[in-house]
Amino acid sequence: MAQTLWNKGKAATEVVEEFTVGNDRVLDLRLAKYDVTGSLAHIKMLESIGLLSSEELALLTAGLEEILKEIEAGTFVLEDGVEDIHSEVELLLTRRLGDIGKKIHSGRSRNDQVLVDVKLFLRDEVKKVRDEVMALFELLQSLSEKYKDVLLPGYTHTQVAMPSSFGLWFGAYAEALADDMFMLAGAFNVVDQNPLGSAAGYGSSFPLDREMTTRLLGFGDLDYNVVAAQMSRGRSEKAVASAIGAFALTLNKLAADCCLYMSPNFGFIKFPDELTTGSSIMPHKKNPDVWEIMRGHCNQILSTENTISLLCSNLQHGYHRDLQLLKDILFPALELMHSCLKMAVYMLEHVEVNRTILDAPIYDYLFTVEEVNRRVLSGKPFRDAYKEVGIEVNEGRFKAEKKVEHTHLGSIGCLATEQIARKMKRASNW
């Protein structure tokens, strides 16, 4: 018979248990330290309202801290036959301390216990994403400044359009990350609310001090309404999925650019041979496999929010076992996000830029707009200047003066690097 918190003498059949538990035991191990952290706060609160004596609190605290050390040392395991992390922690305490170990569940349901664990976990994961994004952001800003004077073709409709620069290109992705960071801040605010004390979703007849556990766990606020607290299951995960989806969309576009720019037909950037892969039959190949895999992973991450929405969209309020599957959806996506952010930094630390791209005559027409603008600045009406240059192009008489004089804020000659850094500081200051 499996060790379960809900068992009252009759166990589910092995087939039912295997189907309903699924991959949950494996995923639960990621929540182990958070389960103990939540329990440490909960028992302090129980002692403060008279449901535990000070002696019992001391024993339970020591027991939980011992388990926490085992988790941190990597020796903690979820035993065969034990349903989940909450059951394992309570089982270990009961073995070591006797019946006093069973008292840690007073005033809690497994529902709010899971909610606390997941929210504490997601809070740390979101902060970890923030730190990884900051490392990429700072690198992109550094590259933007380093290559601010190196021109690059700009495209619309995948056709040669107007002059750009590597400063603009790298800087654009830096600012995009700053915009994405505002979404991550929003997700953090959704997650950073304490659901403990909501029990099974309808509160408890115990006089729980929910503000105390909020302080002890370092949450920024409470999920006040106990029904709303249970309804945050799925909403928190969706908010995080949406935020990492924003970063995934930015990285997806960066990866697509890099795949294109690495192509010999473009030759705008390159990476050391050891950061590319080859072909089994074509000895000349240097494939952008890292960027292609990143592009694919980011597409997977982008699907996460929709998958969560579909899982939660037709559920009435209150707990449903469907919600257990949220971990199967979001946890792997978070791992992919961490991996992609770290790999983007690793690759861009080794990027090599072609400084002579625009020497090729195929890019002469990049400068038609520059020529039109020069004639307008000398006093000619825009429509007349536009027509003149267009005729010169059609007749093969256009001669490009490959010089750019963009001075306005956010342009080739004024990248606004400091302003973008200030934007990111606002977005990430939480």
Interval 306-330: pLDDT, tens: 999 999 988 889 888 888 889 999 9
Pairing of strands 193-194, 159-165: unpaired
pLDDT at position 388, please? 93
pTM of the model: 0.90
- Cβ–Cβ < 8 Å for 174, 140: yes
Give the relative orientation of helices 110-146 and 85-97 as an angle to the nearest 10 degrees.
Answer: 120
| Spatial distance between the Cα atoms of 346 and 148, rounded to a whole number of angstroms | 21
- Cβ–Cβ < 8 Å for 70, 76: yes
50 burial via Cβ count (<10 Å: 0-12, 13-18, 19+): exposed
Q: What are the structure tokens assigned to 67, written together?
A: 């388990």
Q: What's the rounded mean pLDDT across residues 388-398? A: 92
The enclosing H or E element of 164 equals strand 159-165
pLDDT exceeds 90 at position 403: no
1 burial via Cβ count (<10 Å: 0-12, 13-18, 19+): exposed
CATH superfamily of 111-148+166-206+216-357: Fumarase/aspartase (Central domain) (1.20.200.10)
- Measured over the CA atoms of residue 82, residue 84, residue 89 and residue 93, the dihedral's sign is negative
Q: What's the rounded mean pLDDT across residues 414-421? A: 97
| Spatial distance between the Cα atoms of 45 and 72, rounded to a whole number of angstroms | 24
Question: How many other CB atoms sit within 10 Å of the CB of residue 401?
Answer: 10
Give the tens place of pLDDT for each residue, 257-278: 999 999 999 999 999 999 888 6
Give the tens place of pLDDT for each residue, 154-169: 999 999 889 999 999 9
Concatenated DSSP letters for 183-215? HHHHHHHHHSEE-TT-TTTT--SS---HHHHHH
Concatenated DSSP letters for 315-343? PPSS--GGGGGHHHHHHHHHHHHHHHHHH
| Spatial distance between the Cα atoms of 129 and 187, rounded to a whole number of angstroms | 12
What class is the 14-106 domain? mainly alpha
Give the tens place of pLDDT for each residue, 90-128: 999 999 999 999 999 999 988 899 999 999 999 999 999
Domain ranges across the chain: 14-106, 111-148+166-206+216-357
